[in-house]
Amino acid sequence: MGAQVQVQGLRIVAGARHAEQTIVHDLSFAIAPGEVLALIGESGSGKTTTALAMMGYARTGCRIAAGSVRIGDTEVLALDAAGQRALRGRRVSYIAQSAAASFNPSRTIMDQVVEPALIHATATRPEAEAKAVALFRELALPSPDTIGARYPHQVSGGQLQRLMAAMALITDPELVILDEPTTALDVTTQIDVLRAFRRVVRERRTTAVYVSHDLAVVAQMADHILVLRDGQMRELGATPQILAAPAHDYTQSLLAAARPKVREAGTTSAATAATAETPLLEVRQLSAGYGPRDKHGQPKALILEDINLKLYRGQAIGVIGESGSGKTTLARAIAGLIPPCRGEMLFDGQPMPPTLEQRSKEELRRVQIVFQMADTALNPSQTIERILARPLQFYRGLSGQALQRRIRELLDLVKLPATVAGRLPGGLSGGQKQRVNLARALAAEPELILCDEVTSALDTVVGAAVLDLIAELRRELGLSYLFISHDLHTVRSVCDEIVVMQHGRKLAQVARADYERGPHHPYYELLARSVPELRQGWLDEQAAAA
Partner 1 sequence: MPWPGLLGLAILLGWLLVTAFGPALLGQDGADMGNADVFAPMSAQHWLGTDYLGRDMLARVVQGARYTVGIALLATLLASSVGTLLALLAAASAPWVDALLSRGIDTMTSIPSKMLALIIVAAFGSTLPMLIPTAALIYVPGAFRIARSLAVNINAMDYVTVARTRGEGRLYIMLHEILPNIVNPMLADLGLRFVYVVLLLASLSFLGLGVQPPDADWGSLVRENIGALANGSAAIIAPALAIASLTIAVNLLIDNLPGRAARGEH
Catalog residues that contact partner 1 under the rule CB under 8 A: 335-337, 356, 359, 361, 364-365, 367-369, 371, 373, 376-382, 390-391, 394-395, 424, 426-427, 440, 444
Q: How far is the CB of 444 from partner 1 (least distance, A)?
A: 7
Q: How far is the CB of 425 from partner 1 (least distance, A)?
A: 9
**Residue number, 196 or 283, with CB nearest to partner 1:** 283
**Residue number, 368 or 480, with CB nearest to partner 1:** 368
Q: How far is the CB of 71 from partner 1 (least distance, A)?
A: 34
Q: How far is the CB of 418 from partner 1 (least distance, A)?
A: 22
Buried b (16+ CB within 10 A) or exposed e, 173-185: bbbbbbbbbbebb
Phi-psi category of residue 470: left, alpha or beta, with phi > 0 → left and psi -120 to 50 → alpha: alpha
CA distance 83 to 265: 60
Across the strands, what pairs with 448?
367, 480
CA distance 87 to 385: 52
**Residue number, 112 or 434, with CB nearest to partner 1:** 434
**Residue number, 426 or 537, with CB nearest to partner 1:** 426
**Residue number, 57 or 394, with CB nearest to partner 1:** 394
CA distance 48 to 212: 9
Closest CA to 286 of 302, 272, 273, 300: 302
Q: How far is the CB of 327 from partner 1 (least distance, A)?
A: 16
Residue 423, helix vs strand vs coil: coil
Q: How far is the CB of 356 from partner 1 (least distance, A)?
A: 6
CA 245 to chain centre: 26
Q: How far is the CB of 359 from partner 1 (least distance, A)?
A: 7
**Residue number, 169 or 479, with CB nearest to partner 1:** 479
CB atoms within 10 A of CB 320: 29
Cis peptide preceding 519, ω within 30 of 0: yes
**Residue number, 109 or 370, with CB nearest to partner 1:** 370
Buried b (16+ CB within 10 A) or exposed e, 323-345: eebbbbbbbbbbbbebebbbbeb
H/E stretch holding 296 reads none
**Residue number, 263 or 366, with CB nearest to partner 1:** 366
CA distance 523 to 501: 9
Q: How far is the CB of 435 from partner 1 (least distance, A)?
A: 15
Q: Are 198 and 221 in contact (CB under 8 A)?
A: yes
H/E stretch holding 185 reads none
**Residue number, 70 or 332, with CB nearest to partner 1:** 332
Q: How far is the CB of 268 from partner 1 (least distance, A)?
A: 26
Residue type (1 letter), 43: S
